[in-house]
């Protein structure tokens, strides 16, 4: 049975899962679906066509599922889907999608979204993502699994950030970031690999060596960035290098941050 504070306002039609905890002064809209054991601490607003997965905790003053901050939005029916076991801290905002962007903002499982961060319309955020305080992910971005975005960062619309990449604090990211890349500096420079993250993940020494060699080739090799990536596809059998190559050669609306 859910534990719902008497001051909470829950619209008719909202679906509240088993053993949810709804704290004081929370407001839940009619199209909201909360999975089992979801906790809304207090003063949380969840609105729109929003689903929140099991065991997610939303902290005070977060606003989840409000309409996009996009002047082209005209009231169309769009969605926000949030996975399981996320931690969404104070003052976080996550918006529903737009019709032109696919209609759905999606957040995976096991993420940590620290105080004051923003996930904009139509963003696709993977599993185990950490977005640190006061950072903003703009519309239509793709943030793959295991990415860390440091504090006070801005990610430009349509940017892709590959799996396992890390963005240093106070960085503006305007171009795609390769998987396992390390980006830092005020205007986002690809400055190496996320070696700490790779080691923590238990990636083999052979794969790390292969990634370092591939990064060196991408930085210093002849031809365009895509030409260098194509050569890596032929020269390395490391699954991690092949993942990086596939990302570089994939569809994108932005250019890439290239090694500095």
Residues designated catalytic: 121-122, 139
- Tell me the C-alpha distance between 60 and 177, whole Å: 32
Provide the 8-state DSSP code for 15: E
Nearest to 195 by CA among 173, 210, 185, 217: 210
- List all residues 6 or more positions away from 7 whose beta carbon is below 8 Å from its beta carbon: 24, 25
Q: Angle at the Cα of 68 (from 67 to 69), degrees rounded to 5?
A: 120
- Rounded to whole angstroms, the Cα distance separating 177 from 66 reads 29
DSSP structure string for 24-81: TT-EE-TT-EE-TT-EE-SS-EE-SEEEE-TT-EE-TT-EEEEPPS-TT--S---EEE
């Amino acid at each position: 049975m859910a534990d719902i504070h008497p001051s909470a306002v829950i619209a008719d039609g909202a679906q509240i899962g088993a053993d949810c905890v709804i704290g004081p002064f929370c407001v839940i809209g009619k199209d909201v679906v909360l999975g089992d054991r979801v906790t809304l601490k207090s003063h949380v607003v969840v609105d729109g066509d929003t689903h929140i997965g099991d065991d997610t905790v939303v902290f005070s003053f977060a606003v989840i599922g409000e309409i996009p901050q996009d002047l082209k939005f005209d009231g169309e029916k769009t969605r926000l889907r949030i996975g399981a076991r996320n931690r969404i801290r104070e003052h976080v905002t996550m918006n529903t999608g737009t019709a032109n962007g696919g209609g759905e903002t999606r957040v995976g499982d096991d993420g940590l979204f620290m105080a004051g961060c923003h996930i904009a319309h139509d963003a696709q955020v993977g599993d185990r993502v950490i977005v640190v305080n006061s950072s903003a992910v703009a519309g239509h971005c793709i943030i793959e699994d295991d990415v860390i975005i440091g504090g006070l960062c801005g990610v430009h619309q349509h940017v892709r950030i590959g799996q396992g990449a890390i963005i240093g604090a106070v960085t503006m990211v305007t171009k795609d970031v390769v998987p396992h890349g390390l980006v830092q500096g005020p205007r986002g420079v690809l400055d190496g690999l996320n070696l700490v993250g790779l080691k923590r993940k238990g990636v083999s020494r052979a794969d790390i060596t292969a990634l370092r060699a591939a990064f060196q080739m991408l930085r210093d090799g002849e031809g365009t960035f895509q030409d260098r990536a194509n050569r890596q596809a032929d020269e390395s059998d490391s699954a991690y290098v092949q993942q990086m190559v596939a990302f570089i050669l994939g569809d994108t609306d932005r250019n890439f941050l290239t090694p500095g």
